Chain A
Amino acid sequence: MTPTPETTTGAPATATAAAAGAPATATTAALALGDDALVLSHRLAEWAGHAPVLEEEVALANIALDLLGQARVLLSMARDEDELAYLREERAFTNLQLVEQPNGDFAHTIARQLLFSTYQRFLYEALAGDPVFGPLAAKAVKEVAYHQDHAEQWTLRLGDGTDESHRRMQRGLDALWRYSGEMFRPVAGLEAVNWQELEARWLASVNAVIERATLTVPEGPRHGAWAAGAGRQGLHTEPFGRMLAEMQHLHRSHPGASW
């Protein structure tokens, strides 16, 4: 999909805010954070029955459930959660492109988890005193601290494991690195967050883990790449549409049914 200037304006997220009667910026932010959690939750759920070992499958499902819980709270703040999850088109989703990336192998999934959960942890810490998102952040920060720990533990083991696991972990980080710059584009409605400070903390934390894991911090660009900022504007990578088709299929086949 080629980003075009006209599609970046008038995203349906703005229309949603007007419909809910809530402050537009708070709704925009709730949608952005809720979409991140929803989409990543769905990706992790795809591991069910396919994880390397049973214990790891439980861990991934646990993280997916935590994220789905966060998504439900956040989307409900904006509007009806099911309507938002199942009846929006791809262009109306404002999640980061990072979270919609396919699972790949286990190392690829762990790389995505490391980049995102570290971001989510510092973001929720920064939102602790926010009047709108503070209560959610206080609850969610405990969950995402565990997600970050899980990702760090696996990054260390895969990076400093065998030659093969090292190679795969590095490949995962290299492939996803370019999607990480988007996380630090300011989101309207999250005025409590100092985005530069958030990015500095994130870089320091992620770089330290990568180095401890005997891996190399990727050299590719994080900002200015074609992907930067696009997900938040409703522009997504190709695999996302297929993921949504699967996720929304039943609801769209039987609209208005109760489950």
Chain B
Amino acid sequence: MSGDWPLWEVFVRSRRGLSHTHAGSLHAPDAELALRNARDLYTRRSEGVSIWVVPSSAITASSPDEKDPFFEPAADKPYRHPTFYEIPDGVKHL
């Protein structure tokens, strides 16, 4: 079954949400049915939501083994962080 019914990752943006959030995964034979299954499983058909489905095989993940060289350098250089700036009033969602 897993051959004909590959795994899909589901990203959902709720009605008032700003971005798509990973909601979970499911099996479906193709993208159209993956969307419909995602609607039933993860949105309860609330109106005004957006769903993305992506075949799991299309996602490349960072490796946990490479965590240190991958993420470490950024943490110890404070000048890389925008903490020396004051955020102007009226700028939201930063």
Seen from chain A, the residues whose Cβ lies within 8 Å of a Cβ on chain B are 53-56, 58-59, 62, 146, 149-150, 153, 157
A59 contacts B29, C-beta separation under 8 Å: no
27 CB-based A-B contacts, threshold 8 Å: A53-B1, A53-B5, A53-B27, A55-B26, A55-B27, A55-B28, A55-B33, A55-B37, A55-B40, A55-B41, A56-B37, A58-B37, A58-B41, A59-B36, A59-B37, A59-B40, A62-B40, A62-B45, A146-B45, A149-B36, A150-B36, A153-B32, A153-B33, A153-B36, A157-B29, A157-B30, A157-B33
Interfacial chain A residues near B32, Cβ < 8 Å: 153
A-B pairs with the 10 shortest C-beta distances? A55-B37, A58-B40, A62-B40, A59-B40, A55-B26, A58-B41, A55-B27, A153-B33, A53-B27, A53-B5
For B5, the closest partner residue in chain A by CB is: A53
Interface of B is mostly: mixed
Interfacial chain B residues near A58, Cβ < 8 Å: 37, 40-41
Place the interface of chain B in its size category.
10 to 19
For A154, the closest partner residue in chain B by CB is: B33
Q: How far is the CA of A104 from the CA of B1 in the complex (A)?
A: 21
For A62, the closest partner residue in chain B by CB is: B40
Q: How far is the CA of A54 from the CA of B2 in the complex (A)?
A: 13
Residues B42-62 near A (CB distance < 8 A): 45
Known pairs A54-B27, A59-B36; list 8 more (Cβ under 8 Å): A55-B26, A55-B28, A55-B40, A59-B40, A149-B36, A153-B32, A153-B33, A157-B29
Interfacial chain A residues near B29, Cβ < 8 Å: 157
